[in-house]
Chains A and B, each alone.
Chain A
Amino acid sequence: METRLLHIFRNTPLGREVLLQSTYFCKTIGVNPVIYIPEFIKFLMYFENDVAQIDLDGSYLIAPETARAHAVEIVRSQGLPEPNFIEPKNFTASTLPDIPVNFDFMCCPRTVSDLSSKIGLGYIGPRVRRIVQSARFPVLIAGTVSKPWKSVAVMFGGSANAINAFRLGARISRLSGLPMNVYTQLGKHSLDYYKDIIQKKNLSRDMDQYVQNWEVFDAGEFAVNLYNVPHDALVVLGAYGHGVIKEMLFGSTMEKVQSVLPNNLLIAGPKYQASM
């Protein structure tokens, strides 16, 4: 079955950059983009156990008469066939379109509901977070300027979500043919602990086959060590793998990474089930 990426298109220069990155991602790993051009400021996404109302920033409704042509032009400029567009069939309360959620990926900027001036390091909007938490697909959080990536960088901290992220990274590496690097910050555990997890989860073959380099930080702060991640890498990581209390007490890897790295992030949420 075809693999599809959902993109909510904003007909602005920022939207163009985000769509360029979506199409680059699609082209690199062989995914078909499916574009939604919003006609209303609100829409709903019904996930398996959650319903998220997305209240868009007003700029998503700018110049609707040229939006479709611009989207087609951008996608075609990347050598992809004409994309499919979503026409909502179902409406909640007669006025709120329900957008399907049966996709393999989704791409959006760091925020969709706040003014785009808020987009910056350290901030991921509440709606984007909600999608990451509830979706069965990973979310590609694109930067504000289109930039091709040349490798895949996976943040591996040993949790269930990190294992999902590892598998996702390996899949991207396999489909794109680009090298994959793994980054681990040693905390209270030794390297053997992480190696043991890799072995127990049957990831050793993937480690040998796809991973070019496993960089282990045994000293220094994680935020400082992240400087070693290449500027042109697609960063793959898991999110919301711990309980709320644990995250409040110790923070999360995702928050540190998204506060420091301006790279494109591919985030696997807790509902995402990775497959090779």
Chain B
Amino acid sequence: MKFIKRLNIGKYPSQWIFFRFDDRLLLISIGALVGSCSGLAALALNRGLIAMFELLGHYRHLWWAFMMPGIGAALSSLFLEKVVKEGAGHGVPEVIYSVSRYGGLMRFRSSFSRLISSCLTIGSGGSAGPEAPVVMSGAAIGSNIAQIFSLNDRQRVALVGCGTAGAVAAIFNAPIAGLVFTIEVIIGEWSALNIVPIAVASVFGAQVCRLLQGNQIAFTHLQFNIDPADTIACLGLAVVTAVVSIMLTRALRLSNRVSHRIHLPVWLKAAIGGCAVGLIGFLLPDVLGEGYHSIQAMVEGTFSNGLLLVALLVFAKIVATSFTLGWGGSGGIFAPCLVIGSFTGLMYHRFIEMLWPGIAWVNEGCFALLGMAGLISGILQAPLTGMFLIVEITGGYEVILPLILVSAISTTLCHSFEPASFYMKDLVEKGHFLRPRTDARVLADLSVSELVEKDCIIVTKDMKLGDFVKIMQKSHRNFFPVEDENSGEFLGLIHLDDIREYLFDPLFYETVFLEQIMDIQVQTVGLDDDLSVILDRMDAGNLYSMPVIANNQFVGMISKATLLDKYRNELIVQTDH
């Protein structure tokens, strides 16, 4: 006991002496742990999917096999809804939401729930990817480890990033893509404080994966000799991938909206969506599952289908992914993006080959890779993630120049038509997308109760104007709230500008009561109102102050001047580190 006391081990981990040494070293140490755990989670899902494919592979040729994705999606939905009681969703938006609004707080159950549900969906043939589930799992692992150690919000967000990076690094064996994806998509803030632990976690995630299943790159590395003609052709590919990205984004949202309008149990909707995918897969088996085998064939140049069939596959995969994810299946869009992107690249290559047969175009596998980068960059609006991911999963830098072009143009075009990426669209629409150091984030970190000015003199409706003038002389304010004498209820507001004509005529002093001249159509705010909404209302009504009311009683005034003053202080705090 004395030894423990000497080590200064308190009741809460945050009090332990270990956690009071250098903040960066602390985050690096715990980040390594989080990265390793996330790597294990990614590996578990990977092994689970392989087992599912092996188990169900024997039945794929049977007539009822089209129902397998439906059964898998229904089980997945039931598991999420009834067993772990977690809301549906792709996973990544939930992580961004938690980082934006709650300092990365996530439920423990999220660290395993999506692994199981996505294993059921994808393993049975659903058109979805395992990346978003492992991202959610890794992020939840990071968050819960931070909670165990009682770390603060900023440290917790960094560990959520570590979990995400470790998971992506492990599932793709791509540590740089893990780091870049986390910073670009999840955290949205390029600061050294975050980058270092996240990079370490990424390394640990990838290393755990390499230790346990070998250092394999996802797709075979091939040498591509890229000519200027190929690079120019990439401009067209960028446009095509942008169009396909927008189609996929809209198809997913449309599918989601349609499914929400249908009043059926969620598991039944998932089953219907899954069976639809099964039917499509019966005709075009390449749309089923995560689809990495098709990508491998396309990159190697052994995918033999013709232009029209490849074009059909692009649309079929978009429809299948929309049915899987929009109707309640569990999984992510990363892998479908890669598959659709490689189909798009291949389709484009076959098209330009048909138009200009005399030009010696680079191997079609190169265009498949560029198509993947274009789709990822377009859907996620994260060009760096697209570039580094393709470089790492193919193990070569030969395609880097056209890769940059395609990623940059696809992102820019998509941004013009869809200002928010697929992951962020819902969050932006609901006002939940709060990036660090942005207006929305600063306002979200302030509350009405911090800004209430209480030095107001309260008057009653029965007060004569003469008495009010005496009180007014003692106050430096222009606003005087009027309350009911008995109930304390807020009745209205006296604004000096509005009653000036009465103030300078003593004849009114004994004849006018405040009830007659007070403003009863006052716009009020509540203690729980969002400051962004309050500011909008002030701007719309050309107001500089508004009364704060709680339980029909006057609490104080909130003014634009105080709000902007606090806003500046908060901005300084947020940009200080």
Which A positions have Cβ atoms within 8 angstroms of B? 1-2, 32, 42, 44, 46, 49-51, 53, 55, 81-84, 89-96, 100, 102, 242-243
- Is B150 close to A, CB under 8 A? yes
Is B432 in contact with chain A by the CB < 8 A criterion? yes
A5: shortest Cβ distance to chain B, in Å?
A: 12
Q: Which listed residue (B85, B97, B526, B528) contacts A55, Cβ 8 A?
A: B85
Name the residue of chain B whose CB is nearest to the CB of A113: B85
* A residues in contact with B230, CB < 8 Å: none
**The 8 nearest A-B residue pairs measured at CB:** A93-B87, A95-B87, A93-B89, A51-B105, A46-B102, A96-B87, A32-B551, A2-B550
Contact at A82–B105, with CB atoms within 8 Å? no
Please name the residue on chain A nearest to B102 by beta carbon.
A46
Contact with A along B85-122 (1 / 0, CB 8 A): 11111000110011001100111010000000000000
Q: How far is the CA of A50 from the CA of B109 in the complex (A)?
A: 13
Residue of A nearest to B152 (CB): A49
Does B530 lie at the interface of the complex (its beta carbon under 8 Å from any beta carbon of A)? yes
In the bound complex, CA of A122 to CA of B102 (Å)? 34
Tell me the smallest distance from the CB of A189 to a CB of chain B, in Å: 17
Q: Determine the chain A residues whose CB is within 8 A of the CB of B526 once the complex forms.
A: 84
Question: Roughly how many angstroms separate A92 CA and B87 CA in the complex, as a whole number?
Answer: 8
**How far is A83 from B432 in the complex, measured between Cα atoms in Å?**
28
Residues of B within 8 A of A82 (CB): 551-552
A243 touches B101 (CB 8 A): no
Q: In the bound complex, do residue B106 and residue A100 qualify as a contact, i.e. CB atoms below 8 Å apart? A: no
Contacting residue for B106 out of A1, A2, A51, A102, CB 8 A: A51
Query: Given the interface contacts A1-B449, A55-B85, does A89 sit within 8 Å of B530 by beta carbon?
Result: yes
CB of B426 closer than 8 Å to a CB of A:
yes
A46 to chain B, nearest CB (A): 5
Give the dominant DSSP class at B's interface. Answer: loop
A81:B94 contact, CB within 8 angstroms: no
Contact of A51 among B102, B150, B447, B550 (CB under 8 A): B102
Asked if A81 and B551 make an inter-chain contact with CB atoms under 8 angstroms apart, the answer reads yes
Q: How far is the CB of B19 from chain A (nearest CB, A)?
A: 13
Complex CA distance for A50 and B146, rounded to whole angstroms:
10
Q: Is the CB of B550 within 8 A of A243?
A: no
Residue of A nearest to B11 (CB): A243
**How many angstroms between the C-alpha atoms of A2 and B553 in the bound complex?**
10
Q: Which among A46, A51, A91, A242 has the greatest number of chain B C-beta atoms within 10 A?
A: A51
Complex Cα–Cα for A51 and B452 (A): 28
B 401-419 binary contact with A (CB < 8 Å = 1; else 0): 0000000000000000000
Docked complex Cα distance between A150 and B102 (Å) = 41
Contact sample, A vs B, 6 pairs, CB 8 Å cutoff? A1-B527, A1-B555, A49-B105, A81-B487, A90-B101, A92-B94
Tell me the complex Cα distance, A93–B105, Å: 13
CA distance A183 to B555 in the complex (A): 39
Instruction: Tell me the minimal C-beta distance from A160 to chain B in angstroms.
Output: 9
Q: Which of B451-489 contact A (CB under 8 A)?
A: 452, 487, 489
Chain B: minimal CB distance from A241 (Å)? 8
Residue interface mask B77-91, A partner, CB < 8 A = 1: 000000001111100
A94 touching B87, Cβ below 8 Å: yes
Q: Which of B89, B97, B551 contacts A84 (CB 8 A)?
A: B551
Cβ of B422 to closest chain A Cβ, rounded Å: 14
By the criterion CB–CB under 8 Å, are A84 and B88 in contact? no
B residues within 8 A CB of A81? 487, 489, 551-552
**Contact of B147 with A by CB under 8 A:** yes
User: Please, which residues of chain B bring their CB within 8 A of the CB of A102?
Assistant: 447, 449
Contacts of B553 in A (CB 8 A): 2
When the two chains form the complex, which single residue of B86, B447, B452 contacts A93, counting CB atoms closer than 8 Å?
Answer: B86
Query: Which residues of chain B are near A84, meaning CB under 8 Å?
Result: 526, 550-551
The complex places the Cα of A200 from the Cα of B558 at a distance, in Å, of: 42
Contact B87–A50 (Cβ < 8 Å): no
Task: Flag if A49 contacts B150 (CB, 8 Å).
Answer: yes
* Residues of A contacting B528 in the complex (Cβ-Cβ under 8 angstroms): 100
A93 neighbours in B (Cβ, 8 Å): 86-89, 93-94, 97
Q: How far is the CA of A46 from the CA of B526 in the complex (A)?
A: 21
Q: Is the CB of B550 within 8 A of A90?
A: no
Q: How far is the CB of A43 from chain B (nearest CB, A)?
A: 11
Whether A46 contacts B105 by the Cβ 8 Å rule is yes
For B528, the closest partner residue in chain A by CB is: A100
State how many angstroms separate the Cβ of B35 from the closest Cβ of chain A. 22
A100 to B530, CA, bound (A): 13
A2 and B94 contacting across the interface, CB-CB below 8 Å: no
What separation, in Å, do the CA atoms of A100 and B452 have in the docked complex?
19
Looking at the assembled complex, report how far the CB atom of A42 sits from the nearest CB atom of chain B, in whole angstroms: 6
Q: Compute how far the CA of A90 lies from the CA of B555 in the bound complex, rounded to whole angstroms.
A: 25
| The one of B86, B93, B147, B489 that contacts A50, using a Cβ cutoff of 8 Å | B147
CB distance from A70 to the nearest CB of B (A): 19
**CB-defined interface of B523-538 with A at 8 Å, one 1/0 digit per residue?**
0001110100000000
Query: Which residues 535-562 of B sit at the A interface, judged by CB distance below 8 A?
Result: 550-553, 555
Distance in Å: Cβ of B363 to nearest Cβ of chain A = 43
Determine how close the nearest CB of chain B comes to the CB of A87; give it in whole angstroms. 9
Residues of A close to B552: CB separation below 8 A: 81-82
CA–CA, A2 to B102, complex, Å? 25
Chain A residues within 8 Å of B107, by CB: 44, 51, 53
Q: Contact: B89 with A94, CB < 8 Å?
A: yes
**Cα-based distance from A84 to B94 in the complex (angstroms):** 29
Smallest CB-CB separation from B148: which chain A residue? A49
In the bound complex, residues from chain A placing their C-beta under 8 Å from that of B86 are: 53, 93
Asked if A53 and B105 make an inter-chain contact with CB atoms under 8 angstroms apart, the answer reads no
Q: A42 to chain B: which residues have CB within 8 Å?
A: 85, 87
**How many whole Å from A78's CB to the nearest CB in chain B?**
14
Question: B556 — nearest CB in chain A belongs to which residue?
Answer: A1
Closest to A1 in B: B449
Contact A53 B85 (CB under 8 A): yes
